[in-house]
A and B are shown apart, each in its own frame.
Chain A
């Protein structure tokens, strides 16, 4: 349809777009009116025309001209601007962010929108580049500019149309600047990796270059060449040459959509087993058990945590989860010639001609039956294969170049491909091309994955940067932060600009002589005897407490939380940064803050002897610690003392101390014990995780000792009151905002999670079982599981039970019904996080909601909008999980470093048994390690009894031995470095 432009008024004309939208199988004709303007500037400082046409926006601000008047010169000695194509951005965002190249870049709106549709993370990084202004990235709204808007031609695909629009931008800039308005010539270069598009552009008189050609023109081309991502055309040649196996092609989108609807295909997140890289599972709502995906053909290029579409396999392919250990490193450590044969590869995909949907449906019903039936088939799990990948989880990966893949002498400067083994064991090797493979050997490097064509055995990627020598503390720390997607860069200038101008000199303003209405609402609690109890050397003090006996015999107890939201106002850059970081991350030697230091360790931190703003919860509790009354208020406090747990304990225990502060701490301790008892009576769980602490040498900051964390009474004193505050606040904000209150829930574990553990218990410790009717029953049954000969058995069981639990999660109250708010572990009906706003963003939101609920200030819209709240909780849930993983990984790394010097024999417990190995947990270090059968004894004599979870074998000394789950064993612990992955691991040897 040829649509015409009509002028509506001066500077505004209208045209219309007609297209068909397919959605859910329907086809809708859509007509859009499209308005075009003539006042969109080119943003070039050298343009003498556009300054006259710009109009102010709604805030009265004029657009800033960002493209430099004297842009960087190429070999031709003429300054240039670059116009980017979508694919360049999608593949080379790292290069765009590099400070050595890409200044004065024009991003057509068409490209920006395409990037947004293809990849949100890359889009956000691009927006960041544009926003920061230091690299001169300008978004040109070509779709709304009268001169650059183009209509789609008949039979033109939308991609061709967009390519044409981008070329139009380049040619418009060229004429606009060079023929009319710029005093000096500025070359416009269109960067595009599509050969066809370049040919067309050249025919239109545009200087179009591929990325490689462009980089070669730059003065510092040498340094940049390696950073160019793998070209898809290149990798095709490569794979053709090497003639690798082919993976089955993915189904078409039409087939996937219909398949999901008629119940023959299923969607879920792929989860690769940490013990077997060729085995993945996909949890699908339709089945009680996850679907097993075995073998690389069935895994079909899936990465762990990709969102995938799966199809069931015939019943004879169903199997039990494998009890074999397969690691990528064992799989093809030396494979360069690509001829490794793969284990467990069922060649069924694609070969079995046509299977109709009807048969698939029958299969699905059978699978449902099999997963619900409690027959002897109980352990059989339906198997499936991946037929589509809806969303890749690709991100930056940290790894190291496999030494075996770098062969032959360096033939000069030509790039050669080599493999990068990733730190994450569940991911395959990545093939990169680099000239400097030798140089990068022995370094931690960051790579990014570009593509995984169906004819390539390994995914192709490219080198991003090097972190440094393997096992240097800096490289390892940065690696684990990257691996867990923790933002660790220093705070940006616009974030720091949001802090109070006084900086460290900020003091609490005068409360009495003030015009500030909010300040007047603050309650002065500086006369209360407040103190804080924290771990030693704590600098970010979130919370402080006080207690006082009231004349009526009850107690007044106050919890005072740092008033972070006084400084972090909604919708500021500071707030956004906090929201995106979500939580502070605690590593052994380092803390990655959620909020800038100034707030965390000074202005918000409830330091002793100075006035600080706080958010206070004050209860009246009776003798049995029942709540008589609760009040919430913004306040000013003055902490009398900052105790460490140990010092507080000593002071309480010291009978000679009888001052008021000590007495109030004794009151707190007494009440906290009652609170704890109440909680345990209600069924709160006392679970265990093997937590250890690494001591650092204070001078060299080398780790030198590991100890298991000790808990003092004062730990639980603080904990109990924090729980109480969280619960009280949760009730209050749920009352005020029933749809959007920020809450935290912990779902009860599904019975299937405990199936295996109970089965093991049944086999190894007859008579013991974990009951699941309620958290109370679970807690009690855990208490009953005592082994008189082994006091650690109970703890071990608690550790294993913890792993069967669901993870607690944040949620806005509107997402669940009230009964589902329940926190299973704490055995309370409603819960939130309120007490650590310096290090958790959930608490910040809870603070704002509580301030809104008590009428202190209006609640920001974003915390009253359910959709926005969903986005916030989704992010903080993920960040929270990542932070935990990062913390654990950090401990693991340092434990490895400690053991490096002291090899010794320790007690361990078998927690898993496989056909070809066992997993042993060493409580002393909180580590667990795999001992493969080869190291245990003679592989041929091994006999695994899967009903008894017992492995029998002849050990290296020729003695017959058997080990089973829960067995206590002595193991020789030493730390070894895996040459392939570069990871230092605890190597355990059975004694």
Chain B
């Protein structure tokens, strides 16, 4: 979407106000409304889908496989497919790199450990069916939901196979499958737009066009964690406002995220709980 110079100027000025006036009448820390559904793919261990009002949609499936721990480099494998982009494009590789490294560094691998020799390996497959704004936080929130509802078959054989090797065997009852951990809250990414001294949560496609800079903040266990990176979100603009980033804003972004992200996590958790209680009607 390309805005006219007049539109750009109007939007820029509105967003630079203190407090900013956002096109969707959102406050600065407010997300766009989203609709989500979990555990709907029958063959997956966990699954989630998030839709936004503008038609952006992302689907995640988590599958598991038993591996010999020593034989694999990491226990999480992420694959992202974005409609309209080649798999080897910079756009997709960046998304994939961000998400993979976030999960690998912050995923408690003891949840996946089966025995001293064997572990589960998780395969997280994302499909972004359509998107307007930068889809990383969309993917990340959907991944949160999918991992939160992921269940792994219950091991019934010996856990200690240090001395005498045993091949893992599992309970055949899917109802016995276990969630990763009740308390486990996977890490997420939050996208922030920088305009003047304002920080805007979850910028929409129109807002992205006039932003001076963008920040991607990671959040895990009630705290902002590294990496925090900046990004030019105004990719579609032919006349970018892009500027350098004020250090103070980084500090502020951390404060803001620490303040508001727990509410996001809480909302997502409520969502999974509600979905659990509901029946398994198909979404399609």
Q: Which residues of A contact B (CB under 8 A)?
A: 1-4, 16, 18-22, 24-27, 29, 31, 152, 154-158, 252-255, 257-259, 261-262, 264, 354-357
Q: Choose from A1, A4, A157, A255 the contact partner of B164 (Cβ within 8 Å).
A: A255
B280 at the interface (CB under 8 A from A): yes
Q: Which residue on A lies nearest to B151, using beta carbons?
A: A29
* B173 near A20: Cβ-Cβ < 8 Å: yes
Q: Which residue on A lies nearest to B39, using beta carbons?
A: A1
* B66 near A254: Cβ-Cβ < 8 Å: no
Q: How far is the CB of B132 from chain A (nearest CB, A)?
A: 34
Q: Report Cα–Cα, A435/B280, bound state, in Å.
A: 60
* A20 near B280: Cβ-Cβ < 8 Å: no
B101 at the interface (CB under 8 A from A): no
* A2 near B279: Cβ-Cβ < 8 Å: yes
* B171 near A252: Cβ-Cβ < 8 Å: no
Interface locus among B136-144, B174-182, B205-213, B217-225:
B174-182
B65 at the interface (CB under 8 A from A): yes
* A4 near B279: Cβ-Cβ < 8 Å: yes
* A152 near B157: Cβ-Cβ < 8 Å: no
Q: Report Cα–Cα, A18/B165, bound state, in Å.
A: 29
Q: How far is the CB of A598 from chain B (nearest CB, A)?
A: 52
* A254 near B157: Cβ-Cβ < 8 Å: yes
Q: Which residues on B sit within 8 Å (CB–CB) of A21?
A: 172
Give a binary string over B170-210; 1 marks a CB under 8 Å from any A CB, 0 the rest: 11111111000000000000000000000000000000000
* B157 near A252: Cβ-Cβ < 8 Å: yes
* B165 near A259: Cβ-Cβ < 8 Å: yes
CB pairs A–B below 8 angstroms (19 shown): A16-B42, A19-B172, A22-B172, A26-B65, A27-B64, A27-B153, A29-B43, A31-B42, A158-B173, A252-B157, A254-B157, A254-B166, A254-B167, A254-B169, A255-B165, A261-B165, A264-B165, A354-B163, A357-B163
- Known contacts A19-B173, A25-B118, A31-B43; 11 further A-B pairs (Cβ under 8 A): A1-B174, A19-B172, A20-B173, A22-B153, A27-B64, A27-B66, A29-B174, A252-B157, A255-B164, A259-B164, A357-B165
Q: Is the interface of B mostly helix, strand, loop or mixed?
A: loop
B252 at the interface (CB under 8 A from A): no
Q: Report Cα–Cα, A756/B103, bound state, in Å.
A: 64
Q: Report Cα–Cα, A154/B176, bound state, in Å.
A: 8
Q: How far is the CB of B75 from chain A (nearest CB, A)?
A: 15
B38 at the interface (CB under 8 A from A): no
* B279 near A20: Cβ-Cβ < 8 Å: no
B125 at the interface (CB under 8 A from A): no
Q: Choose from B162, B165, B168 the contact partner of A27 (Cβ within 8 Å).
A: B168
Q: How far is the CB of A388 from chain B (nearest CB, A)?
A: 13
B13 at the interface (CB under 8 A from A): no
Contact status of A258 and B166, CB under 8 A, knowing A20-B153, A157-B173? yes
> Which of A25, A27, A158 is the most central at the interface, judged by chain B CB atoms within 10 Å of its CB?
A27
Q: Report Cα–Cα, A355/B165, bound state, in Å.
A: 11
Q: Which residues on A sit within 8 Å (CB–CB) of B168?
A: 22, 25, 27, 254
Q: How far is the CB of B158 from chain A (nearest CB, A)?
A: 7
Q: Which residues on B sit within 8 Å (CB–CB) of A20?
A: 153, 170-174, 177
Q: Which residues on B sit within 8 Å (CB–CB) of A252?
A: 157-158, 166
Q: How far is the CB of B202 from chain A (nearest CB, A)?
A: 34
Give a binary string over B34-73; 1 marks a CB under 8 Å from any A CB, 0 the rest: 0000000011110000000000000000001110000000
* B165 near A24: Cβ-Cβ < 8 Å: no
Q: Choose from A1, A4, A29, A152 the contact partner of B45 (Cβ within 8 Å).
A: A29
Q: Which residue on A lies nearest to B161, using beta carbons?
A: A258
* A1 near B166: Cβ-Cβ < 8 Å: no
Q: Report Cα–Cα, A957/B12, bound state, in Å.
A: 125
* A356 near B163: Cβ-Cβ < 8 Å: yes
* A258 near B42: Cβ-Cβ < 8 Å: no
Q: Which residues on A sit within 8 Å (CB–CB) of B162?
A: 356
* A22 near B169: Cβ-Cβ < 8 Å: yes
Contact status of A25 and B153, CB under 8 A, knowing A19-B174, A155-B176? no
Q: Which residue on A lies nearest to B68, using beta carbons?
A: A25
Q: How far is the CB of A309 from chain B (nearest CB, A)?
A: 13
Q: How far is the CB of B5 from chain A (nearest CB, A)?
A: 55
Give a binary string over B272-284; 1 marks a CB under 8 Å from any A CB, 0 the rest: 0000000110000
Q: How far is the CB of B154 from chain A (nearest CB, A)?
A: 8
Q: Report Cα–Cα, A157/B64, bound state, in Å.
A: 23
Q: How far is the CB of A578 from chain B (nearest CB, A)?
A: 41
Q: Report Cα–Cα, A354/B158, bound state, in Å.
A: 15
